[in-house]
Amino acid sequence: MVSGNFSWLATDWQRKPLAATRVKSYLFDLINRTNAMQPVTLQDRAMITVSGQDAQEFLQALITTDLDLLEDGEAKPGALLTPQGKILFDFMVTHDGTSIRLETDTGQAEALLKRLTMYKLRAPISLSLTNPAPVTIGFDAAPGTYRDARFVKAGQAVYRAYGAEGETAGTDDYDRLRILNGIAVSGSDYALQDAFPHDVLMDKNGALSFKKGCYVGQEVVSRMQHRGTARRRVVIVAAETALPETGTPLTVKSRPIGTLGSVIGSSGLAIVQIDKTGEAIAAGEPILAGDVTVTLTLPGWSGLEFPAEADEASA
């Protein structure tokens, strides 16, 4: 059963009430359903293990996550970027005391291993791939589980365990939990090599370090951070009726402001231009996903707000 609270969501509704009470009722029902969620196993996961005396040093100079801050029993999000600062691969990072593990989607595992091998050169490390490597999502701490740092930010206790121990039929429930907490994943919510880390809130969920020094793409994302030029962000989407399919444009006056990502029934995620979204909200203009009117909410845990003018959201 999910452990945690959704107080940030309730507070956000009180501060900026939703236009339709049926949407609000639907999302509170969604909260109740996720609170009753049982452990589920994700079959589409793979594991790259990096071992050797220089494993941490090797990855620290490549990926966005600050491995010096990775705690025992913690799974932190991370990415390997292009030199232009876009997400080339995304993953969850854990360590078991002797090696560092990158848990990723099965579809990108081989390419990620190949890229790491290219960077390896003569470094005294070894790389191994287990594909597939099922991951069980649960809600109780136990030996061998890792608390998902993305959900910690949202006030939820969600744990990852390596092995198939839960129901595979309940993956929709896990997606509902992701949607409710504004947690985007590649494939469903954005295409690799298309999104910057800021677009998917990696600057807010602990995946992106601005202090550890150089890594691939670091100069670009640091410049975005310090200049406040991030214009696209993940939002939670709600509607009174079923949402259209993933990939549907979100529009204001027929002009695109973003794209729908994960969808479960009447709720979903999208990446939108927050300046244009803020202008539409301030002007009372309807926002559409296809022909469905939607309400957009920034995850409360992010600390972001829609700007009323064409400038960056306040942190």
Q: How far apart are CA 75 and CA 68, in angstroms?
A: 13
Q: How far apart are CA 209 and CA 96, in angstroms?
A: 22
Query: Is residue 287 scored above 50 in pLDDT?
Result: yes
Q: How far apart are CA 227 and CA 209, in angstroms?
A: 16
Phi and psi angles of residue 141, each rounded to the nearest 5 degrees, phi first: -70, 135
The residue-averaged pLDDT of 72-100 equals: 96
Question: What pTM value is reported for the model?
Answer: 0.88
Q: Which of these CATH numbers, 3.40.718.10, 1.10.3470.10, 1.10.569.10, 3.30.70.1400, describes 41-190?
A: 3.30.70.1400
Q: What is the pLDDT of residues 21-44, one digit of tens each?
A: 444 454 555 555 555 578 899 999
What secondary structure does DSSP assign to 51-98, as a single string? ESTTHHHHHHTTSSS-GGGPPTTEEEEEEEE-TTS-EEEEEEEEE-SS
Looking at residue 10, what is its pLDDT?
47
Looking at residue 169, what is its pLDDT?
57
Instruction: Return the domain boundaries, the chain.
Output: 3-35+231-302, 41-190
Q: How far apart are CA 164 and CA 79, in angstroms?
A: 25
Q: Provide the mean pLDDT of the chain.
A: 88
Looking at residue 131, what is its pLDDT?
95
Find out whether 27 and 6 touch, Cβ atoms under 8 Å. Answer: no
Look at residues 172, 171, 141 and name the one whose alpha carbon lies nearest to residue 157: 141
Looking at residue 8, what is its pLDDT?
46
Q: Residue 82 has which token pair?
A: 């292009």
Residue 245 exposed, middle or buried by CB count within 10 Å (0-12, 13-18, 19+):
exposed
Q: How far apart are CA 314 and CA 188, in angstroms?
A: 27
Q: How far apart are CA 16 and CA 37, in angstroms?
A: 28
Q: Which whole-number Å values give the CA distances from 79 to 52, 197, 210, in the listed order?
A: 21, 8, 14
The residue-averaged pLDDT of 71-94 equals: 97
Q: What is the pLDDT of residues 41-74, one digit of tens each?
A: 999 999 999 999 999 999 999 999 999 999 999 9
